[in-house]
């Protein structure tokens, strides 16, 4: 057995973490031979709930779990981390402007970025889940100047999985038969789910999505809006936000960082846009197609972009630029 790795989950008393922690602890993410120290961080009023989560993890009697630490202190939570999964954030409340949400989250992610900078390993991999995820990720990265910005990513894998499953349902195959969907841009309703480069396995043969679906209007219309608004649809139905599917997407995202992407496949994640080949403004955390090898991501280059896609990609980039400007304004005054 190898040496234990330290993995932090923030917002650990929340419902996404409740679906996530068992999967991490039983080996779904880092493999069946990797011992773990799980660090759980939440705010002080949630510590009683967090103690309950801690007890349940102990009661699972999982062989890989060497220690579970529950804390409300950043200096304890961020110490010597190998992986930080930042789930906790200020949720948007009814009547709250996006600007107010950004202001509240700038404080959280500035503080957590500074804690990463001070206490975590410089090799730490940081995944931001808490919304607005792209901009929160950018703030955390800017607040941790000693950690390479390539080590920061935000979760758009849930949107990616949603796109795959919609195509699979339409064609009558399973999600594993669909590959190379792309989510461009922001994890918001401006994101652009793009299937121009995706393939579907139909009767043992890989075919383009447009050929497999045979419904261009659906692909350019309802498919896009369904993926963009899926989170809101889940909230409307469940009266709670996506938790099981979000936890599964986090596992997929982190496992691919750890072990790499399958040969011939790319996935979507929000990463820094410096010097990208797709005309996205620099210094945004923007969702791109990437491949991962040896724990390093690389943009998939050379994909042709048609006018329809270009317009959608620019629209979501504009929203991210506006968010960044607002957040940076708050950052300088925070």
What mean pLDDT value characterizes the chain? 96
Is residue 72 annotated as involved in ligand binding?
Answer: no
Question: Which listed residue (160, 187, 197, 253) is catalytic?
Answer: 187
Is residue 105 annotated as involved in ligand binding?
Answer: yes
What percentage of the chain carries pLDDT values higher than 70?
99
Active-site residue, 197 included: no
Q: Which residues are CB-neighbours of 144 under 8 A, at least 6 positions away? A: 113, 114, 116, 117, 126, 152
Is residue 131 annotated as involved in ligand binding?
Answer: yes
Model-wide pTM > 0.85: yes
The CATH class given to the 156-321 domain equals alpha beta
Hey, what are 24's tokens?
């991490």
| Residue pLDDT, tens place only, 133-189 | 999 999 999 999 999 999 999 999 999 999 999 999 999 999 999 999 999 999 999
CATH T-level assignment (fold) for domain 5-154: Rossmann fold (3.40.50)
What is the pLDDT, as a whole number, of residue 47? 98
Cis peptide preceding 132, ω within 30 of 0: yes
| Residue pLDDT, tens place only, 228-243 | 999 989 989 998 889 9
> Cα(78)–Cα(6) distance, rounded to whole angstroms?
9
| Residue pLDDT, tens place only, 279-333 | 999 999 999 999 999 999 999 999 999 999 999 999 999 999 999 999 998 888 7
What is the pLDDT, as a whole number, of residue 218? 98
DSSP string across 47-83: HHHHHHHHHHHHHTT-TTEEEEEEES-HHHHTTT-SE
What is the pLDDT, as a whole number, of residue 98? 75
Asked, colleague to colleague, whether 5-154 and 156-321 share their fold, the answer is no
């Amino acid at each position: 057995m190898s040496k234990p790795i330290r993995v932090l989950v923030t917002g650990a008393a929340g419902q996404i973490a409740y679906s996530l922690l068992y999967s991490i602890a039983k080996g779904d993410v880092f493999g069946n031979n990797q011992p773990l120290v799980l660090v759980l961080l939440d705010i002080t009023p949630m510590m009683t709930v967090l103690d309950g989560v801690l007890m349940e993890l102990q009661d699972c009697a999982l062989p890989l779990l060497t220690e579970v630490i529950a804390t409300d202190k950043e200096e304890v939570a961020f110490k010597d981390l190998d992986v930080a999964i930042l789930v906790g954030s200020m949720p948007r409340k009814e009547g709250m402007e996006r600007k107010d949400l950004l202001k509240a989250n700038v404080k959280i992610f500035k503080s957590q970025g500074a804690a990463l900078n001070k206490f975590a390993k410089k090799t730490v991999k940081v995944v931001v889940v808490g919304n607005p995820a792209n901009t929160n990720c950018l703030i955390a990265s800017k607040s941790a100047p000693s950690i390479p910005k390539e080590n920061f990513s935000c979760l758009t894998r849930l949107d990616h999985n949603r796109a795959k499953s919609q195509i699979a349902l339409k064609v009558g195959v399973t999600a594993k038969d669909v590959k190379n969907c792309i989510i461009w841009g922001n994890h918001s309703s401006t994101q652009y789910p793009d299937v121009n480069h995706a393939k579907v396995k139909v009767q043992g043969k890989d075919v383009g999505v447009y050929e497999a679906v045979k419904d261009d209007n659906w692909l350019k219309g309802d498919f896009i809006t369904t993926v963009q608004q899926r989170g809101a649809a889940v909230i409307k139905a469940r009266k709670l936000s996506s938790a099981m599917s979000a936890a599964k997407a986090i596992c997929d995202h982190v496992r691919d960082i750890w072990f790499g992407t399958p040969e011939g496949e790319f996935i979507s994640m929000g990463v820094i846009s410096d010097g990208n080949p797709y005309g996205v403004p620099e210094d945004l955390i923007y969702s791109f197609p990437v491949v991962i090898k040896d724990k390093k991501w690389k943009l998939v280059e050379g994909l042709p972009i048609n006018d329809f896609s270009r317009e959608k990609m620019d629209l979501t980039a504009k929203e991210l630029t506006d968010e960044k400007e607002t957040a940076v304004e708050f950052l300088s005054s925070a």
